[in-house]
Amino acid sequence: MANVTNVAHAKSPSTRARIQAFGGFLTNMVLPNIGAFIAWGILTALFIPTGWIPNENLAKIVSPAITYLLPLLLAITGGRMVAGQRGAVMGAIGAIGLIVGSEIPMFLGAMIIGPLGGWVIKKFDKMLENKVPAGFEMIVNNFSIGILGFFLMVFSFYFIGPVIESANNFVTSAIRALVDTGFLPLLSLINEPAKVLFLNNVIDQGIYYPLGMQETLNAGKSIYFMVASNPGPGLGLLLAYTLFGNKIARRTAPGAIIIHFFGGIHELYFPYVLMKPVTILAMIAGGMSGITIFRLFDVGLVAGPSPGSIFAYLALTPKGNFIGIILGVAVATAVSFIVTSIILKLSKQPDNEEEFTASVEKAQTMKAEGKQVMQASIHPLHSDKLAKVSFACDAGAGSSALGATTFRKRLQKKAIEGIEVKHFRIEDVPKDTDVIVVHKDLSDRARLAHPDKRVITIENYLDDPNLAQLLNEIEKR
């Protein structure tokens, strides 16, 4: 018995760590690209035919940007995180197959094929390591990506079509079945995941709007216009990210709110769900409570709100229905806000500031070490995790390798284990690195390439006061 519990005990942290690492991976794939989502959102909110200042010419950008640009960016980032620049190229090549092979924007697919492409080329490079005759590296490098990329492109092209089709069929028949039960809040179970997977047009324009129009002919209004287009759940999610998300998410979410809630471009909140897939539960809960309120007050809209902004909602609300509509949106917002907040609180990554503060507070209660902890809180770090240290230089071969090797030796001497010390070209430092060590002459470039990372600058690769301090920090934990 004792053995069993021991094993379970030993296993659980590593599983948790792995899930956290995976969550961090998704986040890092999405976050650098939020700006592109926002640019697209502004463009769309302004210029589509139902937008603020319709402009047929500029609206031409809308579709290519969301079909090609955004998924490609995700795939490139994903590929780069796995295998540097070569991974990025492979990721993009793979993603274009998916994109052309499907008729809807392939976000989730791009987030899978990007890292997969990176992984493929990484494995292949590893296999060939040291086996390529001198002078042929360039040719082998280019043709390996070229040929493997070709296959990946064709594979993803043929693979994705059937997948999307069956997803469409599944969603359509599931919604029909749920409508037949008459208990509409259940629809959120399908709606919310389907929306985030960019099947929103399929479900709204393919299913709900026809149902809604039918009902409007008899009753003058319909709830079907609102079951999937309620902007409340997305607003709640983004509000929660605004208050409790990690640093970058916190800064970008307010902008996304404006475009989502007032502009009606729901796509803006999708990346935040993709970043932490479990928040789909918050979206479902929000959607369900919204529908429940709409039902309770027996309200509906007179036409399909497109785009689904709060203004479109109010403009399409028939007389006497305002209280029910506003309440439905508000309650959906509140519910998804609360659930998202709980999720964000529970799944806080250890590399987060709040967690850091919390751990500092916790430690402060241990009076014995009180002093040290206070000192630590005076100099807050970007990250309190120090598992991966990356030395970087221009070539990623010489001084960075020497620095990393020497640092490893120093760790070994102190019998410190579990720290990964590697060397890279500055631009290829992987995203899950905790600290980047770089020569002071190269620090600007390192900060430019990795604005969110802690960068330690040194002048001496063998014995630098800043390195000694880092060693000290590692030793203390």
Is 314 an active-site residue? Answer: no
Is 18 an interacting residue with respect to another protein (CB under 8 A)?
no
Q: How far is the CB of 81 from another protein (least distance, A)?
A: 18
Decide whether 270 or 461 has the Cβ nearer to another protein. Answer: 461
By CB under 8 A, which span of 188-196, 203-211, 257-265, 458-466 interacts with another protein?
458-466
Q: Does 439 bind another protein (CB under 8 A)?
A: yes
**Cis check: omega of the bond before 451, within 30 degrees of 0:** no
| 463 in contact with another protein (CB under 8 A) | yes
d(CA 315, CA 304): 11
Q: Is residue 2 at the binding interface for another protein, with CB under 8 A as the rule? A: no
**How many residues would you count in the chain?**
477
* 26 is a contact residue toward another protein (CB under 8 A): no
Residue in 92, 257, 293, 393 binding another protein, rule: CB under 8 A: 393
Which amino acid would we find at residue 389?
V
Q: Whole-number minimum distance, CB 141 to another protein, in Å? A: 10
The binder of another protein chosen from 362, 409, 414, 476 (CB under 8 A)? 409
Stretch that binds another protein, among 158-166, 275-283, 308-316, 395-403 (CB under 8 A): 395-403
- The β-bridge relationship of strands 388-393 and 435-439 is parallel
Side-chain-facing half-sphere of 48: CA atoms under 13 Å:
16
Nearest residue (CB) to another protein, 368 versus 415: 415
Q: At what angle do helices 280-296 and 322-346 cross, to 10 degrees?
A: 160
Q: Is 127 one of the binding residues for another protein (CB under 8 A)?
A: no
Give the residue among 292, 294, 177 at the shortest CA–CA distance from 225.
294
Q: Please report, as residue ranges, which positions from 220 to 279 form the binding site for another protein (by CB under 8 A).
A: none
Which helix (H) or strand (E) is 391 found in, with range?
Answer: strand 388-393
Cβ contact 418:77 at 8 Å: no
Under the binding rule (CB under 8 A), the answer on residue 440 touching another protein is yes
Q: What is the C-alpha separation between 154 and 199, in angstroms, rounded?
A: 23
Element (H, E) at 274: helix 270-275
DSSP 22-76: HHHHHHHHHGGGHHHHHHHHHHHHHHSTTSSS--TTGGGGHHHIIIIIHHHHHHH
CB 304 within 8 A of CB 229: yes
Q: Applying CB under 8 A, does 85 fall inside the site for another protein?
A: no
Residue 382 lies near another protein (rule: CB under 8 A): no
Sign (positive or negative) of CA dihedral 410, 413, 414, 415: positive
Spatial neighbors of 163 by CB under 8 A, at least 6 apart, are: none
Active-site annotation holder among 148, 239, 312, 393 = 393
Closer by beta carbon to another protein, 298 or else 444 = 444
Interatomic CA distance for residues 257 and 244, integer angstroms: 15
**Judged by CB under 8 A, does residue 59 bind another protein?**
no
Binding of residue 394 to another protein (CB under 8 A): yes
Name which position in 381, 402, 416, 419 contacts another protein (CB under 8 A).
402
Nearer to another protein, 272 or 424 (CB): 424
Closest among 98, 283, 114, 90 to 188, alpha carbons compared = 283
Asked if residue 442 binds another protein (CB under 8 A), the reply is: yes
CA distance 444 to 85: 20
- Min dist CB 419 to another protein, Å, is 16
Minimal distance in Å, beta carbon 393 to another protein? 7
Q: How far is the CB of 399 from another protein (least distance, A)?
A: 5
Binding of another protein by 461 (CB under 8 A): yes
Q: Which of 147, 144, 146, 88 is nearest to 116 (CA)?
A: 88
Contacts of 354 (CB under 8 A, 6+ apart): 348
Is residue 420 involved in binding another protein (CB under 8 A)?
A: no
* Cβ distance to another protein smaller for residue 125 or 192: 125
Closer CB to another protein, residue 10 or residue 134?
134
In the window 280-309, what residues touch another protein (CB under 8 A)? none
Question: Per-residue contact track with another protein, 131 to 150, x per CB under 8 A?
Answer: ---xx-xx------------
| Separation between Cα atoms, residue 394 and residue 390, nearest integer Å | 13
Q: Is residue 16 at the binding interface for another protein, with CB under 8 A as the rule?
A: no
Shortest Å distance, C-beta 165 to another protein: 44
The H-assigned helical ranges of 182-224 are 188-194, 200-203, 209-219
Buried b / exposed e over 118-135, threshold 16 CB at 10 Å, is bbbbbebbeeeeeeeeee
Residue from the set 172, 347, 377, 406 that interacts with another protein by CB under 8 A: 406
416 touches another protein (CB under 8 A): no
Give the whole-angstrom CA distance, residue 222 versus residue 213: 7
Interface with another protein includes 395 (CB under 8 A)? Answer: yes
With binding defined as CB under 8 A, does residue 165 bind another protein? no
Position among 14, 130, 181, 472 found at the interface with another protein (CB under 8 A): 130
Query: Which residues contact another protein (rule: CB under 8 A)?
Result: 129-130, 134-135, 137-138, 393-399, 401-403, 405-406, 409-410, 423, 425, 439-442, 460-463
Q: Which residues are the active-site residues?
A: 393
